[in-house]
Structure 1
Amino acid sequence: MTKKATIYRMVTPDHLCPWGIKALDLLKRNGYQVEDHHLATLEANQQYKESHGVDETPQIFIDDDLVGSYDALRDYLGLAADPREGVSYQPIIAIFIVTFSMALTVTWASLGTLELIRVLELFIAFSMCVLGIQKLRDLKAYATGFVQYDLLAQRYVPYAYVYAAIETLAGALMVAGLILWIISPIVLIASGIGAISIVKAVYIEKRDLKCACVGGNSTVPLGFISLTENIMMMVMAIWMLLR
């Protein structure tokens, strides 16, 4: 038996509703034959909402029964919220997968072999660069999260901005092995303070915080992953000094 659905969504020359597109795609991928109705003007969209007593479009019907909005459709199909609510490790996992892949390919391209030590060096250095970029893209939002747990930033807020710059610049210099005798001690001190701050906030005070490691408005919980980032930086700094 054919499954049928009807969708009313906003499609104008100036605006193509992204939730409407995603709802239409979701219906098709779940085997529904879709009757797609376009609300071609702002006035038509507003009139539809007023006449049907709804606050938003798209609106979806399945077998003539109202399901509701895109979020309601996902709930109807037994799917998680979009965007996912609550905490998520996805941002940091994505960064580490990409930077590790970069480390592998660069090591192979430059040495013709996958030398483990060089792969690890580049992985940490690339991760520092990308995590630094995440902080630099919205310094104010990042600093708001960072000052909630970093011991030095709580006493001197501008240090939050300095930390983001240190991490990014140090990662770039470590890729090329430049002026390590200067940058490595700075990284060691900054990451050491960060590690102590995380241990205090999470494991001693038991505070429920988000990690600023991937920038402002993070969904990554402060804890093991955040501590790992700082430990990686400490190990990298010590290794570069010993070299």
Structure 2
Amino acid sequence: MKNWSRLQLLTHILCWLPLFVLAAAYFTNNLTINPIQAATQRSGDIAIIILLASLAMTPLHILFNLPQLLKLRRPLGLYAFFYAALHMLTYTGWDYQFDFNLIFASIADKPYILIGLAALCLLTPLALTSHRWWQKRLGKLWKRLHQLVYLTAVLAVIHLAMAVKGDFLRLQGDIWKPLAATLVLSLLLVVRIPPLRRALSARHRKGRAVKITPGPVNRRSDSGLSAVTPEKQTETPNH
């Protein structure tokens, strides 16, 4: 912890905060009239938000040249897994008391459960192999394995879209969350398209290569002072 930057520390605080808020709402009887449903929905929403945040770190680095954001991908991914597991445990344990007969029966009416389970199953090996030891151990296979995070995010958004009550064709009902998640995920994936990613990365490399070029120096014989001609000065662009 002593080696954490302020940004890393802030990230951990923000990721733990929803759990404390959720627990406080439960113990103060403020978790709506249906606390089980509220806890299930909130934990699932938090998991998707943090998962999308972890996917946003690389595009933000590409767009704004912020390498410090890359260090946040692993903790954000682990927190996303934590809240996704909490979401599933809330549903299976708190709601259905681990009665798998009832759970299997509910899948017929709620097929989105299987999609959510598939997303959690894909996220599990990514969380288990997130440490650098696994990265060195698996080599190139590690990168291929962790590319499954994109499919995981797609499944998570589909799970959310199927779980809410609404009509997407008529834009009616509680559809704003899946629509927002779909838009964000689409933008994050578009930035990763190789030609666009290379173009954005090249822009930053070009910007870093630009140096301040001094203009001609004019010397005044009467005072011995020198001045740089303003119109000839080239400044390094800010990003």
Report the TM-score, using the length of structure 1 for normalisation: 0.33
Q: Which has the higher strand share?
A: 1
Q: Which has the higher helix share?
A: 2
